[in-house]
Amino acid sequence: MRKIKIVLSYDGSGFLGWASQPGKRTVEGEFKNGLKKVLPETQDFFVAGRTDAGVHAENQVVSFSSNISENFHESGVQKALNSAIPTDIFVKSVEFINGDFNARFSAVSRTYIYYLKHISKYSVFQRNYTSYFDKELDFEKIRKAADDCLGEHNFFGFSSSSSDSKTFIRKVLNIEFNGDSKSFTFEIKANGFLTHMIRLIMGTLIEIGAGKLPESQIKNILHLEKRGLTGKTTSPHGLFLQRINYET
């Protein structure tokens, strides 16, 4: 058996998230269907991060083992896979690797980038790749409040009730904003994320920026470790899994 690492991108618009669901179109389901056509015998399949319905990925990572012939080349596997999967998924690279690499457990951090615009800048051509809001925002309030997420905390209050996580402790390593109150990007890097965590954080920040929630609300939610105190869950459109880091 050979260990294989694959980096892929996908447009999440037409999928009900990453994870396979019976009778539903998912990224994992479509990718594995194509994988079976190219490499019928695989095992120990892992993904770096499971994305929600409508969320996109620039550089998702999967790993698995396969009883693959020594005559197969990485470029050949890449070409074959891209011929076997839908065009809204694309294999960017294939690497035969040694050692104990695991796409999920070897990752030390994940980075997401979120594209947001005021509804006055709405475009039908960007509706699947941008999250729109309709409030007038104090951008500096948002930037300042976001810093309260930095560090290691219990993010239970920023998780979905459908979350199946065994622990809600996560460490946010970096947050960056670019743009202004009408059009901006939000980049967040952490050792891991909970279901809807980023979208609940952003929904809360938007309410803070609009003056609907106090500037201390992020701190309050982290301290109380209680659901139901955030702003609304923002749209998955505009949220991209940007990169996975495997280096300490």
Catalytic residues: 52
Rounded distance between C-alpha atoms, residue 233 and residue 188, angstroms: 16
Rounded distance between C-alpha atoms, residue 80 and residue 84, angstroms: 6
Helix ranges (H only) for the chain are 27-38, 74-84, 139-146, 197-209, 217-224
Q: Which residues contact 239 (CB under 8 A, 6 or more apart)?
A: 52, 54, 55, 56, 112, 113, 114, 115, 131, 198, 199
Contact call for residues 170 and 191 (beta carbons, < 8 A)? yes
The bridge status of strand 56-66 relative to strand 89-97 is: unpaired
CA 51 to chain centroid, in Å, comes to 5
The 8-class DSSP code of residue 155 comes to -
Q: Which of 134, 100, 137, 106 is nearest to 120 (CA)?
A: 134
Neighbours of 103 (CB within 10 A): 22
CA 236 to chain centroid, in Å, comes to 10
